[in-house]
Chain A
């Protein structure tokens, strides 16, 4: 037996885990030679474009495609009824979210449109341009119906019910309570409270949603090129709803131009493209345009949270009480459901802090707006902004510096494992160490002095903090338990080829975050070969082990451990063969840098390529009963904890122009603890990208609606995203608390930045506004909202 590789030891031969190795797939991207779905062109390919509802809620009386079908190049038009014959509807509920309800949804609705932008008919043509020309000629007769727009009144008696079969517009409600909340508030030294709004916004992936579905009538096989995070999940979805065998569906996902949670959901128009491909027996491409992205990509984070916190005379938090309300559109989104975000809020509020009494309610309501669902850091930015907003209010109320208040209240390091008042199980966190590291990185004392100095010159700067926890490495507790066919386990196959190179196929997927890079590092180290000898395959249901793909920060922690175990198994198999060939016990040998070596002396005995040559071409020369299994597969799933929580803390330093309300970001810091870091270069850029996504929510991004339910943005000229000129440099630091659930010890890192940034920016703005007694709690913190808070303009 060879020694088990220990990633905790530092000086290991050909060690790659923990090193900043560039991504093997980056060069094709910088040369514009990647392959996104829209880059794929197939023989006899046609294009589908959709007729979309201009009404928030309307009955579809008739669809007349006569004129559209006369446009040269147009082939077919499909209505909801046409597709219904070939596709079964879906209902997005999870059994473990008790009482949750939603209505059946189809690729195109049968008789009713329920949000502005919902596809109601499809036109297929020889080019996208012609399909769009024809869409403009489809005559749909609508009978407008009263729309449910404001989530605050969605459950009111006089509000119409969107789906009468459901009885009301309530999708889900849950109260998470522990301790004696009312007693704690009654006995409090101080109580602080605020109402927070996190603006409805969206992912704005630069590559729009894209699908190319191809059905072969002879083989009965559906091949789908899809810009998705979860190829295996989509394979199951297409099979189930198009009434195909799972084995007859192949989903291929090459390069993905940004996903962030947007591309892990089932979209009716994408299913429609697949159904149409099956009906027409030829390849059908659908690429969303930017207006379709804004009106049909999932939105997220449309929450109103009334929150209060009780503190004692010693500045200790004694209770938190929050009431969360969220509007999710007319349907819960399949198959993850749209109740999870609210459920996360009630699980995560107060997460970093040590306090005894907790009550959180979420109410998830239906409305006639674009459906919302899981988007990067699901629920975390909301819970963190609420918690950290309350923390700064409480610190001010008891006259403590915000850092000192956090020192008194954060869960102490070394007190784990423990369970939070919200019922979350923590294996090991490092809030205190992270905070102290952050304070050191940013020279907190120096910044406070600078702030004071500049205030005298009427320059108003603010410093804001946000501690956070992040849920990663999810178990079936998240979805599988509720009946969703979403894999929490993942697998990796590692194979030695005749030239001694290594092929690794994994069920976790690449979206640009560097999955292929870390799998390559892990496999190279586990097997014992130079890193350039390892190729990685992702994103193909036909050639990779069954897995969950990319979601909830599981690639490194789940997929990485499967790769490690698989690589170690291959190494063991190699050394077994080597021992037989060299007439020594396998335990005397090692595989280092692609060479079989004597473990004790390090002396080279044989190249791996020579061993592979013998195994594959001269197997006759080996003992007949010798196993020579140079390909191994291992799977991994977490078992002890429902989630591997990570933690961290961020700080924002910014300036508010009190005459214009403009916020200028000066610097941002993040210290996070994702356990074992496999590649610091990749982790740091995940954090930075995440922080900027959070800043977008805090300052710019919003999907506003008119009272009638019209979406008021149509292009990127209306929907502002963070651009280079407005963004600050971001300093990133780490504390490493590996999980003991795996040998690798890795937890997720992709969502930490997004989780903490909005709270930190909010607190920094309010710190800058402190001399004026003004505060803002409604994201995005636009100049207008800041001027209203300052009393300079009226709302």
Chain B
């Protein structure tokens, strides 16, 4: 049951070394081994997106990635992105537009939104909806989230 694997990786800019059970998912590794509680387990089947984090610059589902496979990887979570200020504008827009209610989906939603704006800086509302279509939010009905992302996209373009 408990085959353990040694991994050394970078999480939010800090190097961590741990022995992890081979079966341990990334989201559990972050939460249980590192105490980073901002990534949430929602469906455990890769559908709801609540556990979305960044690995080597790309967003992944923390419940579908094994920690044992991440030796040498660079992992970024909502805590890291908050501390660097990279998504401060998105976070402020979510607060101002009331695009987060219970907040359980929000970290994953923000990482996915940041990913969209990285790859498509001028998305239409439809493109925003499409890109966020793998992140389940039961509270908002999505409209406010789409508004918030659209507002940030426009503001970033205005600055550019």
Contact = CB atoms under 8 A, between A and B. Distances in A.
Interface of A: 22-23, 26-36, 38-39, 41, 71, 129, 133, 203-207, 255-260, 289-290, 511-514, 681-682, 685, 688-693, 715-717, 721-727, 729-730, 753
A724 B103 contact: no
Given A39-B37, A725-B133, A27 B95 contact: yes
Interface stretch (B3-11, B135-143, B152-160): B135-143
A733 B142 CA distance: 18
Interface in B104-125: 104-107, 110, 125
Given A133-B1, A722-B142, 4 more contacts: A22-B98, A26-B100, A257-B40, A513-B139
Contacts of A685: 98, 101, 139-141, 143-144
A693 B141 CA distance: 7
Contact of A688 (B79, B102, B136, B141): B141
Nearest to A715: B45
A39 B38 CA distance: 9
Interface range, B side: 35 or more
A165 to B, nearest CB: 39
A729 B143 contact: yes
Nearest to A32: B38
Given A32-B37, A682-B98, A716-B45, A691 B103 contact: no
A688 B143 contact: yes
Contact of A727 (B21, B134, B143): B143
Given A685-B98, A725-B130, A26 B141 contact: no
Given A26-B95, A723-B134, A691 B141 contact: yes
A282 B98 CA distance: 39
A716 B47 contact: yes
Contacts of B96: 22
A730 B142 CA distance: 10
Given A257-B102, A290-B44, A30 B110 contact: yes
Contact of B104 (A207, A692, A724): A207
11 contacts: A33-B79, A36-B104, A206-B40, A255-B103, A257-B104, A259-B102, A289-B44, A685-B139, A690-B141, A716-B136, A721-B138
Contact of B133 (A256, A511, A724): A724
A260 B101 CA distance: 12
Contact of B101 (A31, A203, A290, A512): A512
B55 interface: no
B79 A727 contact: no
Kindly name the residue among A29, A71, A513, A682 whose own CB sees the greatest number of chain B CB atoms within 10 A: A29
A512 B103 contact: yes
Contact of B102 (A511, A690, A727): A511
Given A32-B77, A33-B79, A513 B101 contact: yes
A34 B40 CA distance: 11
A681 B146 CA distance: 15
A30 B135 contact: no
Interface string B75-99: 0011100100000000100111110
Contacts of A71: 1
Contacts of B48: 206, 716
Contacts of B58: none
A205 B136 CA distance: 10
Contacts of A33: 38, 79, 82
A258 B43 CA distance: 14
Given A206-B50, A688-B140, A717-B47, A31 B37 contact: no
Nearest to A35: B37
Main secondary structure of the interface of A (DSSP, over half): loop
Given A258-B139, A715-B43, A716-B47, A22 B95 contact: yes
A681 B98 contact: yes
Contact of A31 (B45, B79, B145): B79
Contacts of A23: 95, 98
B98 A725 contact: no
Contacts of B102: 29, 206-207, 255-259, 511-512
Given A22-B98, A685-B101, A31 B141 contact: no
B26 interface: no
A721 B136 CA distance: 8
Contacts of B136: 206, 716, 721, 723
Contacts of B95: 22-23, 26-27, 30
B18 interface: no
Contacts of A35: 37
A727 B142 contact: yes
A650 to B, nearest CB: 13
A689 B141 contact: yes
Contacts of A512: 100-103, 139
A290 B48 CA distance: 11
A339 B48 CA distance: 32
A206 B140 CA distance: 12
A205 B138 contact: yes
A133 B23 CA distance: 12
Nearest to A27: B95
A624 to B, nearest CB: 48
A682 B39 CA distance: 25
A206 B100 contact: no
Nearest to B50: A206
Nearest to B36: A32
A778 B113 CA distance: 36
B68 to A, nearest CB: 14
A35 B82 CA distance: 16
Contacts of A721: 136, 138
The 4 closest A-B CB pairs, nearest first, are A32-B38, A29-B103, A512-B102, A257-B104
Contacts of B138: 203-206, 258, 260, 689, 693, 721
Contact of A692 (B41, B128, B142): B142
Nearest to B145: A724
Nearest to A732: B143
Contacts of B110: 30
Contacts of B129: 724-725, 727
B104 A689 contact: no
Contacts of A133: 1
B132 interface: yes
A692 B79 contact: no
Contacts of B31: 38-39
Contacts of A206: 40, 42, 48, 50, 102, 104-105, 136-138
Kindly name the residue among A71, A511, A716 whose own CB sees the greatest number of chain B CB atoms within 10 A: A716
Contacts of B79: 31-33
Kindly name the residue among A31, A290, A715 whose own CB sees the greatest number of chain B CB atoms within 10 A: A31
A260 B41 CA distance: 19
Interface in B6-60: 21, 23, 31, 35-45, 47-48, 50
A682 B97 CA distance: 9
Contacts of A725: 129-130, 132-133
Contacts of A30: 82, 91, 94-95, 100, 103, 106-107, 110
Contacts of A513: 101, 139
B100 to A, nearest CB: 5
Nearest to A39: B37
Contacts of B77: 32
A133 B100 CA distance: 36
B45 A29 contact: no
B42 A31 contact: no
Contacts of B133: 723-726
A26 B90 CA distance: 13
Contacts of B43: 290, 715-716
A299 B47 CA distance: 21
Contacts of B91: 27, 30-31
A32 B78 contact: yes
A789 B146 CA distance: 35
Kindly name the residue among A129, A133, A290, A512 whose own CB sees the greatest number of chain B CB atoms within 10 A: A512
A724 B105 contact: no
A724 B113 CA distance: 12
